Structure 1
Amino acid sequence: MTKRQKLITGFLELAQKEGITLTGVDTIAEHTKISKKTIYNNFGSKEGLVIEALTLFSNNIQQTWAEEWDTIEDKRELVLARFSELEMLVKSNQFYGCIFMSACREFSDEQHPLHQLAVNHKRASYTETQKRLIAFGIERSQLAFHIELLYEGLIVKLVANKEIKLISDTKEIIRSLMI
Protein backbone atom coordinates (compact mmCIF):
# COMPACT_ATOMS: atom_id res chain seq x y z
CA MET A 1 0.00 0.00 0.00
CA THR A 2 1.41 3.38 -1.00
CA LYS A 3 1.63 6.27 1.47
CA ARG A 4 -1.15 7.98 -0.44
CA GLN A 5 -3.41 4.93 -0.09
CA LYS A 6 -2.47 4.58 3.57
CA LEU A 7 -3.42 8.22 4.20
CA ILE A 8 -6.78 7.80 2.47
CA THR A 9 -7.53 4.61 4.39
CA GLY A 10 -6.39 6.15 7.67
CA PHE A 11 -8.49 9.25 7.13
CA LEU A 12 -11.60 7.19 6.33
CA GLU A 13 -11.10 5.03 9.44
CA LEU A 14 -10.85 8.10 11.66
CA ALA A 15 -13.49 10.25 9.98
CA GLN A 16 -16.14 7.55 10.07
CA LYS A 17 -15.74 7.34 13.85
CA GLU A 18 -15.06 10.99 14.73
CA GLY A 19 -16.42 13.06 11.86
CA ILE A 20 -14.61 14.85 9.09
CA THR A 21 -13.91 18.19 10.75
CA LEU A 22 -12.73 16.56 13.99
CA THR A 23 -10.24 14.42 12.09
CA GLY A 24 -7.32 16.82 11.85
CA VAL A 25 -4.06 16.52 9.97
CA ASP A 26 -2.16 15.89 13.22
CA THR A 27 -4.47 13.00 14.07
CA ILE A 28 -4.21 11.55 10.56
CA ALA A 29 -0.40 11.79 10.66
CA GLU A 30 -0.26 10.13 14.07
CA HIS A 31 -2.71 7.38 13.09
CA THR A 32 -0.94 6.53 9.84
CA LYS A 33 2.62 7.17 11.07
CA ILE A 34 3.08 9.42 8.04
CA SER A 35 4.27 13.01 8.40
CA LYS A 36 2.05 16.04 7.96
CA LYS A 37 4.46 17.23 5.28
CA THR A 38 3.74 14.08 3.26
CA ILE A 39 0.01 14.72 3.62
CA TYR A 40 0.41 18.22 2.23
CA ASN A 41 2.82 17.07 -0.48
CA ASN A 42 0.33 14.42 -1.65
CA PHE A 43 -2.95 16.30 -1.32
CA GLY A 44 -2.13 20.01 -0.96
CA SER A 45 -4.45 20.34 2.03
CA LYS A 46 -6.67 18.35 4.36
CA GLU A 47 -9.59 19.24 2.11
CA GLY A 48 -7.73 17.74 -0.86
CA LEU A 49 -7.28 14.52 1.10
CA VAL A 50 -10.94 14.48 2.15
CA ILE A 51 -12.21 15.06 -1.38
CA GLU A 52 -10.01 12.33 -2.82
CA ALA A 53 -10.84 9.91 0.01
CA LEU A 54 -14.61 10.40 -0.26
CA THR A 55 -14.49 10.23 -4.05
CA LEU A 56 -12.59 6.96 -3.87
CA PHE A 57 -14.91 5.64 -1.14
CA SER A 58 -17.99 6.49 -3.23
CA ASN A 59 -16.45 4.88 -6.31
CA ASN A 60 -15.63 1.73 -4.32
CA ILE A 61 -19.19 1.51 -3.02
CA GLN A 62 -20.57 1.94 -6.53
CA GLN A 63 -18.16 -0.74 -7.76
CA THR A 64 -19.53 -3.07 -5.08
CA TRP A 65 -23.06 -2.32 -6.31
CA ALA A 66 -21.99 -3.22 -9.85
CA GLU A 67 -20.44 -6.51 -8.66
CA GLU A 68 -23.60 -7.43 -6.75
CA TRP A 69 -25.46 -7.65 -10.06
CA ASP A 70 -23.24 -10.63 -10.91
CA THR A 71 -23.26 -12.29 -7.49
CA ILE A 72 -26.84 -11.89 -6.24
CA GLU A 73 -29.25 -13.80 -8.46
CA ASP A 74 -32.45 -13.17 -6.49
CA LYS A 75 -33.60 -9.70 -7.62
CA ARG A 76 -35.51 -9.14 -4.36
CA GLU A 77 -32.31 -9.76 -2.41
CA LEU A 78 -30.48 -7.46 -4.81
CA VAL A 79 -32.85 -4.66 -3.75
CA LEU A 80 -32.20 -5.51 -0.09
CA ALA A 81 -28.41 -5.93 -0.41
CA ARG A 82 -27.51 -2.55 1.09
CA PHE A 83 -29.63 -3.35 4.13
CA SER A 84 -27.80 -6.67 4.48
CA GLU A 85 -24.51 -4.74 4.30
CA LEU A 86 -25.69 -2.53 7.18
CA GLU A 87 -26.53 -5.68 9.12
CA MET A 88 -23.02 -7.03 8.60
CA LEU A 89 -21.44 -3.73 9.67
CA VAL A 90 -23.53 -3.54 12.84
CA LYS A 91 -22.82 -7.17 13.75
CA SER A 92 -19.07 -6.63 13.31
CA ASN A 93 -19.10 -3.35 15.29
CA GLN A 94 -17.94 -1.42 12.21
CA PHE A 95 -21.02 0.76 11.78
CA TYR A 96 -20.51 4.45 12.54
CA GLY A 97 -23.22 6.06 10.46
CA CYS A 98 -22.88 7.50 6.98
CA ILE A 99 -19.80 9.55 6.16
CA PHE A 100 -21.71 11.18 3.28
CA MET A 101 -24.41 12.37 5.69
CA SER A 102 -21.62 13.71 7.88
CA ALA A 103 -20.17 15.56 4.90
CA CYS A 104 -23.52 17.23 4.20
CA ARG A 105 -23.89 18.19 7.85
CA GLU A 106 -20.32 19.36 8.36
CA PHE A 107 -20.13 21.19 5.02
CA SER A 108 -23.65 22.59 4.83
CA ASP A 109 -22.90 25.14 2.09
CA GLU A 110 -24.54 23.44 -0.88
CA GLN A 111 -21.82 24.80 -3.19
CA HIS A 112 -18.98 23.26 -1.18
CA PRO A 113 -17.28 20.43 -3.12
CA LEU A 114 -17.67 18.00 -0.22
CA HIS A 115 -21.36 18.74 0.13
CA GLN A 116 -21.82 18.22 -3.60
CA LEU A 117 -19.79 15.02 -3.54
CA ALA A 118 -22.07 13.66 -0.81
CA VAL A 119 -25.22 14.71 -2.68
CA ASN A 120 -23.91 13.03 -5.83
CA HIS A 121 -23.28 9.82 -3.88
CA LYS A 122 -26.83 9.88 -2.50
CA ARG A 123 -28.15 10.51 -6.02
CA ALA A 124 -26.18 7.49 -7.28
CA SER A 125 -27.69 5.44 -4.46
CA TYR A 126 -31.21 6.42 -5.50
CA THR A 127 -30.45 5.62 -9.15
CA GLU A 128 -29.08 2.21 -8.15
CA THR A 129 -32.23 1.48 -6.14
CA GLN A 130 -34.36 2.42 -9.16
CA LYS A 131 -32.35 0.08 -11.42
CA ARG A 132 -32.67 -2.78 -8.96
CA LEU A 133 -36.42 -2.30 -8.64
CA ILE A 134 -36.76 -2.25 -12.43
CA ALA A 135 -34.78 -5.51 -12.59
CA PHE A 136 -37.25 -6.93 -10.08
CA GLY A 137 -40.10 -5.78 -12.32
CA ILE A 138 -41.19 -2.66 -10.45
CA GLU A 139 -40.94 0.63 -12.33
CA ARG A 140 -42.56 2.90 -9.72
CA SER A 141 -39.89 5.52 -9.04
CA GLN A 142 -41.83 6.58 -5.93
CA LEU A 143 -41.01 3.22 -4.38
CA ALA A 144 -37.28 3.83 -4.93
CA PHE A 145 -37.70 7.17 -3.15
CA HIS A 146 -39.48 5.45 -0.24
CA ILE A 147 -36.80 2.78 0.02
CA GLU A 148 -34.13 5.46 0.12
CA LEU A 149 -36.04 7.25 2.89
CA LEU A 150 -36.22 3.99 4.83
CA TYR A 151 -32.50 3.40 4.29
CA GLU A 152 -31.47 6.88 5.42
CA GLY A 153 -33.85 6.79 8.39
CA LEU A 154 -32.51 3.37 9.37
CA ILE A 155 -28.96 4.72 9.36
CA VAL A 156 -29.98 7.51 11.74
CA LYS A 157 -31.76 5.04 14.04
CA LEU A 158 -28.76 2.69 14.01
CA VAL A 159 -26.42 5.49 15.08
CA ALA A 160 -28.54 5.85 18.22
CA ASN A 161 -29.32 2.16 18.71
CA LYS A 162 -27.34 -0.56 16.94
CA GLU A 163 -30.16 -3.08 17.15
CA ILE A 164 -30.22 -5.70 14.39
CA LYS A 165 -34.00 -6.00 14.69
CA LEU A 166 -34.31 -2.48 13.22
CA ILE A 167 -32.69 -3.78 10.04
CA SER A 168 -34.74 -6.96 9.79
CA ASP A 169 -37.95 -4.97 10.43
CA THR A 170 -37.02 -2.49 7.69
CA LYS A 171 -36.28 -5.32 5.26
CA GLU A 172 -39.71 -6.79 5.99
CA ILE A 173 -41.35 -3.41 5.29
CA ILE A 174 -39.54 -3.23 1.96
CA ARG A 175 -40.48 -6.81 1.06
CA SER A 176 -44.13 -5.90 1.68
CA LEU A 177 -43.80 -2.81 -0.53
CA MET A 178 -42.34 -4.85 -3.40
CA ILE A 179 -45.55 -6.72 -4.13
Structure 2
Amino acid sequence: MAADKKEALVGKAMELFAKGGYTAIGIDRILAEAGVAKMTLYKYFPSKTDLILEVLVRRDDYFRNSLMAAAERKKSTAAKIQALFTWHEEWFRRDDFNGCMFINAAAEFHERDSPIHQVAARHKQLIVDYIEGVLKDEYGARARKLARQINMLLDGAIDAAHVIGNPNAAAEAWEAAKSLLGRS
Protein backbone atom coordinates (compact mmCIF):
# COMPACT_ATOMS: atom_id res chain seq x y z
CA MET A 1 0.00 0.00 0.00
CA ALA A 2 2.76 2.44 0.92
CA ALA A 3 4.61 1.63 -2.30
CA ASP A 4 1.41 2.44 -4.22
CA LYS A 5 1.29 5.88 -2.61
CA LYS A 6 4.93 6.48 -3.46
CA GLU A 7 4.26 5.47 -7.08
CA ALA A 8 1.20 7.72 -7.24
CA LEU A 9 3.23 10.59 -5.88
CA VAL A 10 6.13 10.11 -8.31
CA GLY A 11 3.80 9.56 -11.26
CA LYS A 12 1.78 12.68 -10.56
CA ALA A 13 4.93 14.72 -9.93
CA MET A 14 6.36 13.55 -13.27
CA GLU A 15 3.17 14.52 -15.10
CA LEU A 16 2.92 17.94 -13.44
CA PHE A 17 6.62 18.79 -13.76
CA ALA A 18 6.53 17.88 -17.46
CA LYS A 19 3.56 20.19 -18.03
CA GLY A 20 4.34 23.06 -15.70
CA GLY A 21 8.00 23.02 -14.77
CA TYR A 22 9.80 22.21 -11.58
CA THR A 23 9.72 25.49 -9.69
CA ALA A 24 6.20 26.52 -10.74
CA ILE A 25 4.60 23.29 -9.51
CA GLY A 26 4.31 23.25 -5.75
CA ILE A 27 4.34 20.31 -3.38
CA ASP A 28 0.79 21.02 -2.21
CA ARG A 29 -0.55 20.68 -5.75
CA ILE A 30 1.30 17.41 -6.29
CA LEU A 31 -0.02 16.04 -2.99
CA ALA A 32 -3.60 17.11 -3.72
CA GLU A 33 -3.65 15.64 -7.22
CA ALA A 34 -1.89 12.44 -6.16
CA GLY A 35 -4.17 12.02 -3.15
CA VAL A 36 -1.19 11.59 -0.86
CA ALA A 37 -0.57 13.10 2.59
CA LYS A 38 2.39 15.36 3.26
CA MET A 39 3.66 12.82 5.80
CA THR A 40 3.89 10.22 3.01
CA LEU A 41 5.86 12.63 0.83
CA TYR A 42 8.43 13.29 3.53
CA LYS A 43 8.66 9.59 4.36
CA TYR A 44 10.12 9.00 0.88
CA PHE A 45 11.48 12.40 -0.11
CA PRO A 46 12.97 14.72 2.53
CA SER A 47 12.79 17.64 0.09
CA LYS A 48 11.27 18.73 -3.20
CA THR A 49 14.74 18.39 -4.71
CA ASP A 50 14.74 14.69 -3.77
CA LEU A 51 11.37 14.25 -5.47
CA ILE A 52 12.60 16.03 -8.61
CA LEU A 53 15.70 13.83 -8.68
CA GLU A 54 13.58 10.67 -8.40
CA VAL A 55 11.34 11.88 -11.22
CA LEU A 56 14.34 12.61 -13.45
CA VAL A 57 16.04 9.28 -12.71
CA ARG A 58 12.85 7.43 -13.61
CA ARG A 59 12.27 9.54 -16.71
CA ASP A 60 15.85 8.88 -17.81
CA ASP A 61 15.38 5.16 -17.38
CA TYR A 62 12.15 5.10 -19.38
CA PHE A 63 13.38 7.49 -22.07
CA ARG A 64 16.70 5.79 -22.76
CA ASN A 65 15.30 2.25 -22.63
CA SER A 66 12.51 3.12 -25.04
CA LEU A 67 14.81 5.06 -27.38
CA MET A 68 17.51 2.38 -27.42
CA ALA A 69 14.97 -0.41 -27.93
CA ALA A 70 13.72 1.37 -31.06
CA ALA A 71 17.27 1.62 -32.40
CA GLU A 72 18.29 -1.92 -31.45
CA ARG A 73 15.47 -3.39 -33.55
CA LYS A 74 17.39 -2.19 -36.62
CA LYS A 75 20.38 -3.90 -38.23
CA SER A 76 22.57 -1.26 -39.88
CA THR A 77 24.24 1.72 -38.24
CA ALA A 78 22.31 4.20 -40.40
CA ALA A 79 19.00 2.47 -39.67
CA LYS A 80 19.72 2.57 -35.93
CA ILE A 81 20.50 6.29 -36.05
CA GLN A 82 17.43 6.96 -38.19
CA ALA A 83 15.34 5.06 -35.63
CA LEU A 84 16.40 7.61 -32.99
CA PHE A 85 14.93 10.39 -35.11
CA THR A 86 11.79 8.37 -35.90
CA TRP A 87 11.30 7.68 -32.20
CA HIS A 88 11.50 11.42 -31.53
CA GLU A 89 9.05 12.19 -34.33
CA GLU A 90 6.53 9.79 -32.78
CA TRP A 91 7.10 11.37 -29.35
CA PHE A 92 6.50 14.87 -30.74
CA ARG A 93 3.09 13.79 -32.02
CA ARG A 94 1.91 12.44 -28.65
CA ASP A 95 -0.66 14.41 -26.67
CA ASP A 96 1.61 14.40 -23.60
CA PHE A 97 4.65 15.89 -25.40
CA ASN A 98 5.83 18.90 -23.40
CA GLY A 99 9.46 19.14 -24.47
CA CYS A 100 12.43 17.58 -22.76
CA MET A 101 12.27 17.29 -18.98
CA PHE A 102 16.09 17.33 -18.87
CA ILE A 103 16.54 20.46 -20.97
CA ASN A 104 13.87 22.12 -18.84
CA ALA A 105 15.50 20.96 -15.61
CA ALA A 106 18.90 22.30 -16.70
CA ALA A 107 17.28 25.61 -17.62
CA GLU A 108 15.52 25.95 -14.27
CA PHE A 109 18.49 24.73 -12.23
CA HIS A 110 21.27 26.24 -14.28
CA GLU A 111 24.12 26.06 -11.76
CA ARG A 112 26.29 23.15 -12.88
CA ASP A 113 26.84 21.98 -9.30
CA SER A 114 23.09 21.61 -8.71
CA PRO A 115 22.24 17.91 -8.32
CA ILE A 116 19.24 18.44 -10.61
CA HIS A 117 21.42 19.99 -13.31
CA GLN A 118 23.90 17.15 -12.91
CA VAL A 119 21.19 14.50 -13.44
CA ALA A 120 20.04 16.35 -16.56
CA ALA A 121 23.60 16.57 -17.87
CA ARG A 122 24.17 12.88 -17.14
CA HIS A 123 21.08 11.96 -19.14
CA LYS A 124 22.35 13.91 -22.15
CA GLN A 125 25.80 12.37 -21.78
CA LEU A 126 24.36 8.86 -21.67
CA ILE A 127 22.49 9.55 -24.91
CA VAL A 128 25.73 10.71 -26.54
CA ASP A 129 27.52 7.63 -25.20
CA TYR A 130 24.86 5.36 -26.67
CA ILE A 131 25.01 7.05 -30.08
CA GLU A 132 28.81 6.82 -30.03
CA GLY A 133 28.54 3.08 -29.36
CA VAL A 134 26.25 2.68 -32.36
CA LEU A 135 28.67 4.62 -34.57
CA LYS A 136 31.99 3.26 -33.25
CA ASP A 137 32.49 0.28 -35.57
CA GLU A 138 31.68 2.17 -38.74
CA TYR A 139 33.11 5.62 -37.94
CA GLY A 140 36.02 4.85 -35.61
CA ALA A 141 37.71 7.93 -34.18
CA ARG A 142 35.01 10.21 -35.64
CA ALA A 143 32.26 8.45 -33.68
CA ARG A 144 32.48 10.69 -30.58
CA LYS A 145 32.23 13.95 -32.50
CA LEU A 146 29.43 12.60 -34.70
CA ALA A 147 27.54 11.39 -31.63
CA ARG A 148 27.69 14.86 -30.08
CA GLN A 149 26.53 16.43 -33.35
CA ILE A 150 23.65 13.97 -33.75
CA ASN A 151 22.59 14.60 -30.17
CA MET A 152 22.60 18.34 -30.87
CA LEU A 153 20.33 17.72 -33.85
CA LEU A 154 17.99 15.66 -31.66
CA ASP A 155 17.95 18.34 -28.95
CA GLY A 156 17.34 21.02 -31.57
CA ALA A 157 14.46 18.98 -32.96
CA ILE A 158 12.98 18.67 -29.47
CA ASP A 159 13.13 22.44 -29.06
CA ALA A 160 11.69 23.09 -32.52
CA ALA A 161 8.82 20.70 -31.89
CA HIS A 162 8.13 22.13 -28.44
CA VAL A 163 8.79 25.84 -28.82
CA ILE A 164 7.54 26.51 -32.35
CA GLY A 165 5.31 23.48 -32.75
CA ASN A 166 7.13 21.89 -35.68
CA PRO A 167 5.96 18.25 -35.68
CA ASN A 168 8.33 17.51 -38.59
CA ALA A 169 11.42 18.68 -36.69
CA ALA A 170 12.80 15.17 -36.21
CA ALA A 171 12.47 14.28 -39.90
CA GLU A 172 14.16 17.55 -40.83
CA ALA A 173 16.94 16.89 -38.33
CA TRP A 174 17.41 13.40 -39.80
CA GLU A 175 18.06 15.02 -43.19
CA ALA A 176 20.91 16.99 -41.60
CA ALA A 177 22.19 13.87 -39.78
CA LYS A 178 22.38 11.97 -43.07
CA SER A 179 24.79 14.63 -44.33
CA LEU A 180 26.94 14.24 -41.24
CA LEU A 181 26.99 10.48 -41.74
CA GLY A 182 27.95 10.84 -45.42
CA ARG A 183 24.63 9.53 -46.69
CA SER A 184 22.16 11.24 -49.01
TM-score for both structures, normalised by structure 1: 0.89
Q: Distance in 2 between matches of 1:109 and 1:43?
A: 22
| Superposition map of 1:49-64 within 5 A | 49-64=51-66
1:4 aligns with 2:9: no
Shift of 1:76: 1.7
Q: Distance in 2 between matches of 1:86 and 1:107?
A: 24
Shift of 1:94: 2.2
Q: Distance in 2 between matches of 1:57 and 1:160?
A: 21
Q: Distance in 2 between matches of 1:173 and 1:130?
A: 17
| Equivalent in 162, 167, 172 of residue 164 of structure 1 | 167
2:70–2:84 Cα contact (<8 Å) kept: no
Q: Which residue of 1 aligns with 2:28?
A: 26
Structure 2 letter corresponding to 1:119: A
Unaligned runs of 5+ in 2: none
Structure 2 letter corresponding to 1:9: G
Greater mean alpha carbon deviation, residues 59-68 or residues 28-37: 59-68
Counting aligned pairs with the same residue, the percent is: 26
Q: Structure 2 vs 1, CA of residues 156 and 34 (structure 1 numbering), >3 Å: closer, same or farther?
A: same
Post-superposition CA distance 1:74-126 (Å, at most 9, x none): 43231133322221122222221111111111111211111111111111111
1:86–1:95 Cα contact (<8 Å) kept: no
Unaligned runs of 5+ in 1: none
Q: Distance in 2 between matches of 1:67 and 1:120?
A: 19
| Equivalent in 173, 176, 179 of residue 179 of structure 2 | 176
Post-superposition CA distance 1:102-156 (Å, at most 9, x none): 1111111211111111111111111111111225x12312211211111111112
What is the RMSD computed on CA atoms of the aligned residues?
1.9
| Superposition map of 1:1-179 within 5 A | 2-68=4-70, 70-135=72-137, 137-139=138-140, 140=142, 141-179=144-182
Provide the secondary structure at the position in 2 that maps to 1:164: coil
2:14–2:55 Cα contact (<8 Å) kept: yes
Shift of 1:65: 4.4
2:98–2:162 Cα contact (<8 Å) kept: yes
Greater mean alpha carbon deviation, residues 67-76 or residues 50-59: 67-76
Structure 2 letter corresponding to 1:92: R
